[in-house]
Every structure is written in structure tokens, then in C-alpha cells.
Chains A and B, each alone.
Chain A
């Protein structure tokens, strides 16, 4: 290994880091009056460069015992993360999230990029140490994004809650990793898998995996580690919330799937009905069931749309974890595919919610009344995003959910009742529940008359552009899911 080879494999990360440093410099130089357009231009240019580095960079490589891994799968997900971040960055700007945020555009963008850098590192590694440091980098930047742009009071409280929960979760993760290292003598996922296949499992290993699952559960907001999510989604500035709900969650599911399936496939156990076997599968099944029930039922009672989206996100974590329990190639494909489309739909929904919040000063259900007339583009995209989250055909959400549940049922011996039927039945039931609260929002948007005294929400240029792109992605992928599925399939062949 020489440094040049190393650098050539992490060019996207370097591009993002350098852009973030330039932005910090701009923030210092421009004082509190940084030009929004210039910041946006630098951010977009940096992300474009990083994307080019992903596309034209080396196609495969594994350096320093799995610390830096480049293959089709990591490249695909780095590209997805970069695209989602670009969408988030556009929301930050012109006429974007302004409330109390003026003049800190440069710092905000820098933090966004540093959070992205953490996620890129996490996606591109098979090493537990680097994975932890990358997660910490992303988390730290996100805490700051939540606390920034806070007028006073509530958001600071949300940030503090996020910080405390996050710190405890990080401690659990690291504690778990240390036990895994103690039991296997390695922090390289592939070596861990080999050791586990060759030696009997000792009690210290399940303990380590269990503790790590607590940390991961926090990252993807699975019940009972979800308590930070509603407050953060509701109080954080819309771009930060959008990023946490999209890019951060995509990366979260990516590493959960990779760590569990790649490193600990041997100690999966079984969550099949009547055939429980100890391993991580029963634990994940419990997390999935709790998340689906608590998330979807709590969403029914919400008045704030962003809070509703938060609970719906918790429910979706449950749906995604349901497929992960099956832990075969098909399941991993479904998990990754759904996490991507969930990210796109969330970004669009949070974008529209941010527009309404800006115009009306609140995001209760009533504030969305009449949106269909005053801002047809935003309303249309919101409808697409919510219906996709609900899983109605022909939107991509239907296809994604179908894949998730089919993958969960695919395990087990053919000809018998699938062992995970209980979990999938619960998922279908909760999916029906979710349709109700999504329709409650859409009823306000399209059928309730706008209050006469309220300022109407208008379509804005940049925000609408991102929303429209997200909306068209949802429709296009619904009609042609193979656009993402085929590259994903090809990439996964290398993994299994």
C-alpha cells in the first residue's frame, strides 16, 4: 500500500472534505453576510466533483484490511448519498430555510458536507473501527445542524435530546464492537465471518452483537430506541430533518444490512414461528414488530405533519427490518432498494413540509389546507411522496414494499408455511393503517378550503425543483424499477 493508491480510492471523500473546508473558510471570510448563491455554487460543485470521482474512480479495491472498500455496491450507494445530499443542499438555499438561519449558510453547508463525509466513510468500509468513527462524524455534524438555526427553546431541547440519546447509543455500539473484537480477534467484517464459521460461538459474541444492535437501532430509529426522532424531525430545520430522514437513514440501513449479513451471517438464528433459534434474527424481528406497531399507531394521533412523518419513518424502519430478518441475497436487495426510495420520498415530503412551514409558520394539518390550489406543484409532489410511502401502485413504494415482504417470505423450506408469515401479516396490517394517516394529510391538501386570513403557500423555484425531481424519480422507478434493481443486483453478486 502506498499513499497514492490510498488517495485514489478515497477521492470522493477528499472532494467532499475539501469543499467543506472551503465553505468553512468562506464562512470566516464573509462574516455573517455570506452570499447564499456563492455557497450553493461551491457546495454543488463539490458534490458534482465527488460524484464524478465515484463514477470515474477505481472500480474495485480493498485496502488496509477492509478499511477502504470500493466495489459496485459501495459506489452505487455513494452516488445515492451524494444525490440525496445535493437535494438537501438545494433546500437550504435561495428562499430556502431562512428562519433564524441567515448568514450561517456557509457553516450549515459545511456541516452538511461533513455529515455526508461520515456517511460516505461508513458506506465504504468493512472495518468496525472506521465504521464507528464515520458514524460519530456524521452524528456530531447532525447534532450541530439541528441546534443551528434554532430561534430559541424547543429546537435546542430537541438537539440536546438527540445528543444524549446519540451519545449513549454510540457508547453501546463501541462497547458491543469491543466484545466482538474480544470474541473474534478482528475488526474486519470478512475475517470475523471466517472466524465465526470456523470456531464455536461463545456467549460473549451474542452480547457484543446485541449491544451493537442497540446502537444501530438508534441510528435507524427503531422502537424502543426511537424516542429522539419525533422531536428532532419536528424541531430541526427542514433541510437537517430531510437529511436525517433520507441520506442518514439510507446509510444506516446499508451498514446494518452489511454488518449483520456479511459479518454475522453465521450466527443469524431464526425468527420463524415455532422455530425460534437464538441469534440476531429474533432480536431484529422484535425491533421490526415493535417499530411497525408503535410507529404507525402513534402516527395516527399526530397533528404536526413533520411529527407524523417522523412516526411514519419509525414504522418504515420496521418494514425494512422485517425483510432483513430473512437475511438472504433477495432480502438485502429489497432492504437496500426500499431504503433508497424511502429516502427519496422522505426528502420530497420534508421539502414540501418546509415550504408550508415557511409560509404559515406552523405545520399542523390545518396549515396544509388549500395547498392543492395555491401551490399545485408542491401539493402534487407531496401526494406522490405520501402515496409512495403508503405503498400504492403504480408508485415505486408499492413495488418496494412488495419486494420487502416477498423477501421476508422467501426464506425457509419450500412447500411449508413461511416462518416469517407472522411478521409479514403484521406488516401488511400496519401498512393498511398507514394509508389512513397519509390520506388525512392529503384530504387537507386537496379538499379542505384554505383559511381566508392565512398567507397562501406558493411554489418556490429551488425547493420545487428538488421536489419535482424527487416526484419524477418516484413515478419513474415505479414504472421501471429495474433501473435501480439491476445495478443493485449486479453489485450484490459480488457481495454474496
Chain B
């Protein structure tokens, strides 16, 4: 296998994404974990760009890095407790738990890899001419074919908002 510049880029992006993803699980401080998580999202966006899916890549950055990561940081800052991170999860079965988690993860990865590699239809010939993505077509699709899910997602966000506000009110006045 000879590495081209494009291949090197892919590996750089992949290492960035996987490394940041691993760090999210390993870093102890929640704020740092959130920031490394944002880095992971950036890596995923870069991978999309590398694949030629510009729209998806930019949306990934806009939505995940721009909004979701910031939201996570906000939540961490708002729910900060004095005693956060005091007690360590551990005990006698810590090693067993790690082994169990690794086992499940490996089994799942193996199943996924075997299924993807075994499915011939995933290696279909891709048409040579580049796919042109019209943003206007996406917009039309959103207000025609995808109206029900779009509206429903709005309702989901409303529920989240109502719940967040009500729970925050309770936190404010613990005696009520």
C-alpha cells in the first residue's frame, strides 16, 4: 500500500478523531472532556470534507462544534457542584468492569466489521461525475417530504426546554 498525500491526510484526521474520542472517556475534568469532545467533532467534520461531503462537513461543524459542544459546556458550568468528582467509582470489581466493557466493545466492533466487510453491495461502483448537491433542493425537501419529522423535532426541543427550565427552577429554590 503506497501512501499518497490524500491517504496521509486521512490518517491524520482519523488519529485526531479517535485520539480526541478516547480522551473524552479518560479525562477526569468534565470541562476538559467537553472541549476534547469538540475537537473530536472537528475531526469528524474534517473526515466528511475529505470524503467530498462538503455540506455534511460544514453542518457537522456548525451544529456539533458550534452548538452542541457549547451547550455541553454550559450545562457543565450551570450544574457545577462543590462535591463534584469527589468519590471515585471503583472498588473490587473495577478491573472486571473494564474487562467486561472492553469485551462488549470488541465483540460489537467485530460484528460490525464482519458485517460491513461481508456485504458486497457496499462496494458498488460510484459514478465518476461528482455529485452536485443543491442546497435549494435540500430546503425544498425539508418543507415538503420531511415536514412531519421536522415539526416533531421542534416538539422534542420544546419538551427539552420545558424540562430544563422547570428543573432549573427547582434547583433555584430547594425549599419550595
Contact = CB atoms under 8 A, between A and B. Distances in A.
A227 to B, nearest CB: 14
A207 interface: yes
Contacts of A104: 166
A68 B118 CA distance: 35
Interface residues of B, number: 27
A203 B155 contact: no
A156 B145 CA distance: 40
A202 B119 contact: yes
Interface in A189-226: 202-204, 206-207
For chain A, the bracket of interface size reads 35 or more
Nearest to A117: B155
A64 interface: yes
A32 B156 CA distance: 24
A204 B149 contact: no
Given A144-B163, A202-B121, A203-B118, A137 B152 contact: yes
Nearest to A6: B147
Given A32-B176, A147-B167, A207-B111, A129 B149 contact: yes
Q: Among A1, A143, A207, which residue has the most Cβ atoms of chain B within 10 A? A: A207
A203 B115 contact: yes
Contacts of A369: none
B95 interface: no
A266 to B, nearest CB: 16
B111 A144 contact: no
Interface string B135-150: 0000000001101110
B121 A183 contact: yes
B149 A202 contact: no
B25 interface: no
18 contacts: A17-B155, A64-B148, A67-B148, A68-B148, A121-B148, A121-B152, A129-B149, A130-B148, A137-B152, A137-B155, A137-B156, A140-B156, A140-B163, A144-B166, A202-B119, A203-B114, A204-B115, A206-B115
Given A140-B163, A148-B166, A207-B115, 9 more contacts: A24-B162, A107-B166, A111-B159, A111-B163, A114-B159, A140-B160, A143-B163, A144-B162, A202-B120
Interface of B: 111-112, 114-116, 118-122, 144-145, 147-149, 152-153, 155-156, 158-160, 162-163, 166-167, 176
The 6 lowest CB-CB distance pairs between A and B, nearest first, are A202-B119, A144-B163, A204-B119, A203-B118, A207-B115, A203-B115
